[in-house]
Structure 1
């Protein structure tokens, strides 16, 4: 029987659909016309979402992949469209999520002739991609895309397929079978008994052990809590791992570093043993006790010892390794002084942060804003945080629980990621409540794509924290003693701008206006932008606290406490000695 014919671009989209991709973000261009034609033909299986900048499309795909763990897709046409994709693709690369990027190219007959918008695109994507190919024949298109998706999943990264536009128009036999149903990641090794026994012995000998977990423990929230309770060990995590364990779990201290909490930093510096689970935290050398024993659990053997010395390396899936540790260990009856101090320290932090939730200063503090977000957030809400001070505030003040999700450009740290990520997560979770939370710097980079939210009737709640400054960089310049340079930004009424784009916009300057705006946004079926004018005040620098009069200069302590309203905070030493 002779197979029916189908255009190569149509065959390619069918392969993508077989892998579970049902939408794609991008902007059309002449070099991408054959695929645009296929998107029209195959609209029953592939939804095209038009963005207003290719960077937004790539960031939307990256955000979607972070939230789902599944591959997401974006495209750009030859030349400028392809170049615009790079920022979002690097975000996907750095946070190790699978993204497929289709890139337009001029027709094969005019390649290598300096044709309009022609460029050698493969070298441009060589660093960002785990798979980077140009299709050479029409018959290759479904095969190359099938291989690209395999590699993106296998290596947790970006796959780029460049398509000369004439090839997509050519008819090929409609008989290609995608490998989606056959594909599987290899089985992870079981932890070795000797490693488990040695790890438990080190934990038993430790006086101040902690558990530190990252995204690699995303499926092991229950096991983390169970091990913490069984062995009486407090926990902390990377910023990206926020949400795996409920924020209100008393023994979970959130994160360390600058995008962090005081309890997290205190724990990291005090620990004499760290059970390091599914993380590649790059700043550990600055915040972990350098003399601490290290037990590392990871599925990738190249990660063992990559960031720190390791006393015991356990090559295994986080969930499996934690279950094995649970089975092989006995419950600890009594809480150690360190464990009780950690819990008391967190309780003190929670009381201190809550004391500002009804603060009515104008411009506003950020705590009342996050109080409104937490009160309004649904049980399955998805929060998309931008980069800057808003990252610090979100990690500290969002009260997340299992069932909710959060995305963040944690490692690549590109500003302008929140609005696109919200578009990506809303596209794949149309029935869930989705938030973008940005500073005015990040929001103004991508605010044109509020129009995208309007076009597709995405009921995203976009919160903008406007302080007229690149505050994160301002603080870095202050710490270096240099004059503030280039960090002040021109303010704007983003609520009014959102209204002009067809969204529902609010501009907030007081606590009463804040509550009114959030009440109006509740249950809306259209995109909302709430522009909150906040004070340009540095978040409490938990990585350089000066609050202990017994060990630090009392005059400096008094000045620090006054500046950051830290009268209610106690040093960790006080809890250890209590």
Structure 2
């Protein structure tokens, strides 16, 4: 029996193990969505915005390590996919986007809603093509999927509206056989790197997402080198918790002084599976060894003495074979003072953070003094909210976080222990990612707890897809840091000495909005009610929106605060006070 273009695509996705397709229905997609409707093990998840669909597909891909799929109909529908697809591309995760197109005969005629998809997606996609004949299938689909999986990126396949129902002459099924290669660096380079590490007195590891699959090998290497382990945000998952006695948290603007000093105090840095982009946070004049699967990543952030291109796990195991005891050390035992100093400072910093996160903090003497300066309305401290979520969330919860201050609080107060997972827009830095990524994560496993750390600005940007959670009965727990601000922008302005401008948000009662949509809404304004409210949110069935009014003037002190930042902040505060007084006098 002859099959249509739409049926070939949908059957192939089903056989590939894809479980959900995210998108917004529309004319050019009608043959495809109808084929999904009649396929038993492939679910259509209708979203309210295609950007949310792309974010959801990307989240599924990142969690599963396999292909995520989204669809956008002709013209604007496909354009709306673009931001979520950029996030997938910069997260290096395989996503297939099916884009609608005008009828074949109208392509190039400036037809209604016509967009050149091949040009539109040229920068974001590792593969893009427009099907112009049924006979191009299944080969073109196979090529698109292999590009997405093999190159860990986005593939875009455009299907004109009148092509989906056309039949193929061939009945050959699609085949996607693909084996991931395991690469290793040259042994001579490994030997040189091992020699550098042997001669080093103080080694610090900077560990990224690319090392997560090699956790035990990396821990063994840290022990052998007596090296503190600085984690990138994406390496929190897999390397945090009490089972890692080497980690000292993150560096950068969201980081802590212990991690910053561990890098600064080292004479040798070993970068494992990371492309940490912030040049200012790398110390100068250090010996650097970098391990990465991509040759193009070697040395593009910091000058590298030896670059090892290969799988992180395989390369670390090779290093362990060639590492010898450091000169002058008995029985191969290294001086561990560098590690112990970094860990002691890290624990001290964590103790201080725990005091800030205590809901009763502002009732003490120091807390009262502090709140008189930065929290006169006695809003809930965001640290307390994040810490409460950490205490009460499941040990296998999936967390997503919006870009900005929500990510800062998650980074500092939520530990990725146990089987917890973490997803965010940590390379693209998009707003509005947490809720749709949580949507995709929850659709993948409805029994697993999914918690979204939402900024009020991010949540309101794609607010319509709250209805998708309701319609699909996805029990996502949305934790809203409602500080009535674009908080990170506010902080950036003030650190530069500028008064806050354009960041104030005139928010609704988000809990009431959720309730109106048929979602459980809980609003918290009193710090004394926080713990119970978080517990009720996690215990309630179905989706829940927890709207917590947090302090808009909370300051996240960076790991290496500078005099310029402090001076800029002071100047900004003076300008804000003067402006405020001027506004009052004009009323």
Fold match by TM threshold 0.5: yes
Q: Partners in 1 of 2:403 and 2:122 — Cα distance? A: 26
1:138 and 2:134 aligned: yes
1:78 partner SS: coil
Shift of 1:174: 6.5
1:315 and 2:309 aligned: yes
Shift of 1:205: 2.4
Q: Which residue of 1 aligns with 2:53?
A: 57
Q: Partners in 2 of 1:443 and 1:379 — Cα distance? A: 25
Contact 1:386 1:417 in 2 (8 A): yes
1:81-480 matches, within 5 Å, as 81-173=77-169, 175-180=171-176, 182-189=177-184, 191-248=185-242, 249-283=244-278, 285-330=279-324, 332-360=332-360, 361=362, 362-480=378-496
Q: Partners in 1 of 2:172 and 2:381 — Cα distance? A: 58
Describe the superposition over 1:423-467 as per-residue Cα deviations: whole angstroms up to 9, x where unpaired: 111111222111111111111112221111111111111100011
1:355 partner SS: helix
Contact 2:451 2:479 in 1 (8 A): yes
Describe the superposition over 1:192-224 as per-residue Cα deviations: whole angstroms up to 9, x where unpaired: 332222222222322321111111112011112
- The answer to which of 116-125 and 262-271 deviates more is 262-271
1:14 and 2:32 aligned: no
Q: Partners in 2 of 1:282 and 1:342 — Cα distance? A: 23
- The answer to which of 94-103 and 262-271 deviates more is 262-271
Shift of 1:262: 2.4
Contact 1:370 1:398 in 2 (8 A): yes
Contact 1:477 1:484 in 2 (8 A): yes
- The answer to which of 81-90 and 257-266 deviates more is 257-266
Q: Partners in 2 of 1:460 and 1:261 — Cα distance? A: 30
Shift of 1:330: 4.8
- The answer to which of 489-498 and 111-120 deviates more is 111-120
Shift of 1:173: 4.7
Contact 1:463 1:529 in 2 (8 A): yes
2:521 partner SS: strand
Shift of 1:367: 2.0
Q: Partners in 2 of 1:269 and 1:67 — Cα distance? A: 34
Q: Which residue of 2 aligns with 1:40?
A: 37
Shift of 1:334: 4.6
Aligned residues: CA RMSD? 2.0
Shift of 1:130: 0.5
Contact 1:389 1:539 in 2 (8 A): no
Q: Partners in 1 of 2:511 and 2:518 — Cα distance? A: 11
- The answer to which of 327-336 and 130-139 deviates more is 327-336
Contact 2:491 2:555 in 1 (8 A): no
1:497 and 2:494 aligned: no
Q: Which residue of 2 aligns with 1:565?
A: none
Q: Partners in 2 of 1:322 and 1:399 — Cα distance? A: 25
Which residues of structure 1 form unaligned runs of 5+?
547-551, 561-578
Shift of 1:525: 2.6
Q: Which residue of 2 aligns with 1:564?
A: none
Of 518, 533, 541, which aligns to 1:525? 541
Q: Partners in 1 of 2:114 and 2:128 — Cα distance? A: 17
Shift of 1:337: 2.4
TM-score by length of 2: 0.89
2:192 partner SS: helix
Contact 2:251 2:260 in 1 (8 A): yes
Contact 1:363 1:534 in 2 (8 A): yes
Shift of 1:267: 1.9
Q: Partners in 2 of 1:315 and 1:21 — Cα distance? A: 32
